[in-house]
Amino acid sequence: MGAVVAVERFSELSLVGLLGSGLLALAGCGLLDPISLGLCAAGLVLRILRVSGVVEPRLPWPLVAVLAAAGLALGVADWLLLSKAWTASALHLGFFFTSAGILAARPGRDQGWLALGALLALLAASWWSTKLYFIGALAAFLLFGVAAFASAELRRSASQPGQVVRAPGRRLSWRLGVLSVLVAAGILVLTGGLFFVLPRTAQVAFRRLAPERFQLPGFSDQVTLGQLSRLRRHEAPLLRVRFYGERPVEPLKWRGNALERFDGRRWWNTPDPGERLAASEGMVKLAENRQLWRTGRRILYEVRLGNLASDTLYLAGTPEFLRINAPAVVRTASGGYRLGSGAAEGLRYGAYSFLEPGRRPEAEPGGPSAGTPSCCLELPSLDPRIAELSRQVTAGLGSAEARAEALEQHFRRRYAYRERSVSDHASDPLADFLFRSRQGHCEYFASALAVMLRLVGIPARVVTGFHGGVYNPVSGWQVVRASDAHSWVEAWVPGRGWTSFDPTPPQSTRAEPSAWTRLNWYLDAAETFWDEWVLHYDLSRQLFLASKMESSSRDLSTHGMDRLRAQASQLLANLTGWSRRHGLAALAGLALAAAAFVAVPRIRAHFRSRRRLRQAARGEAQPSDATLLYERMLSVLKKRGFQRLAWQTPAEFAGVLPASTLASLVKEFTRAYNELRFGGQPSAAARLAVLLARIREAPGASGL
């Protein structure tokens, strides 16, 4: 019965692990509230306590029916009043039923329903998840799935009619666990190899079918004051940039959109079909020749977009060339670039950009009417104090550049940066920022500067994008996160054209990397590998991998044999020198290791058998211990000349012994052996131990 109990406990714990891994995979997507997660966690903990015999939290089925009805009502209310989204309400309802099912499920069919629920949770996580943690949850799910199915098969076999001849004993759980680990590892290795051999060519349907609220919002053609600060609260990586050649030391601005119209609270652009720039063999020329002739510093870099619900391309400096796997890109009237074919999540593109500031080779015409949108001077009804402040700050300054720089420095010196602005809910957020709070995030600084530039006659617009990022020396990529989202201003300066101004005060410099930061570098490098070689593994990645393998094999065939011979000669010389210095000690160590290899298992078996004999003497033996005691009895009889033949049963062997005290003891021992091994009577164990001691001491006839 001990083996049956062990299988039952192992099966229960495997089911708990299966549920936990499936729910953990879904919880990592960030779609669930703390209440749903807490209910499931409490259910799993109570289930573990029940398996351990600490509590008995199984719910009666009438109560489960009442909870099911209440859950359906709560799900409808959640759909209509709270989340107002069928996907979120369905997830909440599923977690509610899972929590109740964990406590109410009984062995058998109920556990099958819970395993099905765990599988559905994992499938849902695979739909929404794009993070590396999912492979860990998948590996855990696979491990516990193998363990659950193996233990379920053992339980099914044990429930059928018939007697189990020999049970594995207390080590059954360990053996099942090791078997589950080996099978799960083999499956992972096999499927991992098939994954890289068979590329995934289908596009992820998530972009088209999943609601956009499950995607991290990017920048669009309109931004409301306060929206950017909410984006900055996320730490999800949105851009990864790799530089070729010298990597810029200074933080770069990654320009997205430039917004030109303002109504006092919202910046936006009118619908713009833009200018279509066709790609020639994947290359798009973005700049005119006079820009290409400029002397200065340029950078070559590759960008990989993350989970952005936008088709905007983010570029640094003045982009001159773009390499992209698309037939064309669209250049907007405000100087931005977009894909023009839906969200660009996961897109990779390379760019060549000019970084050096300075005047253009040919000065643009001086007036804003030549090439500058008239809307960049339009303003809504504003607080009159804003115009008065603009005149005060720029008083006595003649050039547009000097006035723009004065306004920029005014904000940098007299206002404070704050992540959560207190002006978000004011009736006039811009006036509240300028004259009351005097602190806010970059949106307020950029909006205030753009408005005040327009008030003094300088065309201006607000630019959205990212600033900075953190370089990961492990992966070699610059990681730009949602928290790096930024807004600044572009103003029209005669002779220079659109020129960037950033009124946001500089924030504190980053501290030296801690041990936790260095650990995060490795995690991010693994995330980069996961994103590049798993999520976006396609035919092009397979061809790249195949070409690398081909070049490696070709290099091995041409130069590899020479290198191998040289390395073999060097290795032989090193081994010869090492053997002369340490040969005797190495031989002695090998001899000791061989002796330990032979002796340690025997010693362990000896002490294990002695321990089992002591347990049998206390009446604590298992049915499997009967075989050990019987073999001990046979070894005692063999020393006295009595040897059991292979075809003889224990009863037949006891019957052929010559009549003596020893034969009587053997017959009694055989009856106790059958009671323990086949009858499962623990009381027979103590009798076996006593009879074995008497057989050792009893006189007997000579052997047959």
Tens of pLDDT, residues 430-486: 999 999 998 888 889 999 999 999 999 999 999 999 998 888 888 888 989 888 888
Same domain, 227 and 152: no
- pLDDT given at position 27: 72
DSSP state of 380: -
Whether 225 maps to a domain, the answer reads yes
Nearest CA to 489 out of 232, 221, 267, 264 is that of 267
- pLDDT given at position 688: 80
Residue with more model confidence, 143 or 47: 143
Same domain, 98 and 228: no
Distance (Å, whole) CA 436 – CA 423: 9
- CA dihedral of 283, 285, 291, 293, whole degrees rounded to 10: 50
Whether 503 maps to a domain, the answer reads yes
Residue with more model confidence, 592 or 15: 592
Same domain, 277 and 329: yes
Whether 164 maps to a domain, the answer reads yes
- pLDDT given at position 216: 44
The mean pLDDT value for 189-198 works out to: 58
- pLDDT given at position 599: 79
Domain end marker among 137, 167, 198? 198
- pLDDT given at position 557: 56
Same domain, 330 and 295: yes
**Residue 319: pLDDT band by 50, 70, 90 thresholds?**
very high
- pLDDT given at position 214: 36
Same domain, 326 and 398: yes
Distance (Å, whole) CA 682 – CA 618: 10
Is the predicted pLDDT of residue 548 greater than 60, yes or no? no
Is the predicted pLDDT of residue 699 greater than 80, yes or no? no
**Residue 212: pLDDT band by 50, 70, 90 thresholds?**
very low
Residues whose CB falls within 8 Å of the CB of residue 323, separated by 6 or more in sequence, listed in order: 282, 283, 284, 349, 350, 351
Distance (Å, whole) CA 210 – CA 309: 11
**Residue 405: pLDDT band by 50, 70, 90 thresholds?**
very high
- pLDDT given at position 632: 83
- pLDDT given at position 389: 93
- pLDDT given at position 531: 67
**Residue 89: pLDDT band by 50, 70, 90 thresholds?**
low
- pLDDT given at position 390: 93
Residue with more model confidence, 336 or 148: 336
Per the CB < 8 A criterion, the answer to whether 89 and 75 are in contact is yes
Same domain, 377 and 502: yes
Residue with more model confidence, 243 or 181: 243
Same domain, 13 and 77: yes
- pLDDT given at position 217: 44
Domains: count for the chain: 3
- pLDDT given at position 299: 93
Handedness of CA 11, 16, 20, 23 (dihedral sign): positive
- pLDDT given at position 301: 94
Same domain, 192 and 273: no
- pLDDT given at position 56: 61
Residue with more model confidence, 599 or 516: 599
Domain end marker among 474, 508, 542? 508
The mean pLDDT value for 628-651 works out to: 84
Whether 703 maps to a domain, the answer reads no
Q: Beta strand 439-440 with 416-417: parallel, antiparallel or unpaired?
A: parallel
> Which residue is it, tokens 């049998």?
616
Whether 515 maps to a domain, the answer reads no
Give bridge partners of residue 302 from the DSSP assignment.
242, 350
Distance (Å, whole) CA 490 – CA 502: 9
Low-confidence winner among 194-208, 283-297, 317-331 (lowest mean pLDDT): 194-208
Same domain, 178 and 250: no
Distance (Å, whole) CA 321 – CA 286: 5
**Residue 241: pLDDT band by 50, 70, 90 thresholds?**
very high
Phi, psi angle pair for 87, to nearest 5°: -65, -50
The mean pLDDT value for 599-617 works out to: 70
- pLDDT given at position 210: 39
Whether 560 maps to a domain, the answer reads no
Domain that holds residue 256: 214-508
DSSP state of 280: B
**Residue 66: pLDDT band by 50, 70, 90 thresholds?**
low
Percent of the chain with pLDDT over 90: 14
Whether 82 maps to a domain, the answer reads yes
Same domain, 232 and 370: yes
**Tokens describing residue 502:** 């950033």
**Residue 321: pLDDT band by 50, 70, 90 thresholds?**
very high
Same domain, 71 and 154: yes
- pLDDT given at position 361: 37
**Residue 490: pLDDT band by 50, 70, 90 thresholds?**
very high
Q: Beta strand 416-417 with 312-313: parallel, antiparallel or unpaired?
A: unpaired
Domain end marker among 151, 173, 198? 198
Average pLDDT over the chain reads 75
The mean pLDDT value for 218-236 works out to: 68
Residue 312: strand, helix, or coil: strand
**Residue 88: pLDDT band by 50, 70, 90 thresholds?**
low
Residues whose CB falls within 8 Å of the CB of residue 301, separated by 6 or more in sequence, listed in order: 241, 242, 243, 244, 316, 350, 351, 353
- pLDDT given at position 594: 81
- pLDDT given at position 596: 78
Whether 555 maps to a domain, the answer reads no
The mean pLDDT value for 316-332 works out to: 90
The mean pLDDT value for 259-288 works out to: 88
Is the predicted pLDDT of residue 591 greater than 50, yes or no? yes
- pLDDT given at position 209: 39
Is the predicted pLDDT of residue 494 greater than 80, yes or no? yes
Same domain, 263 and 192: no
Percent of the chain with pLDDT over 70: 65
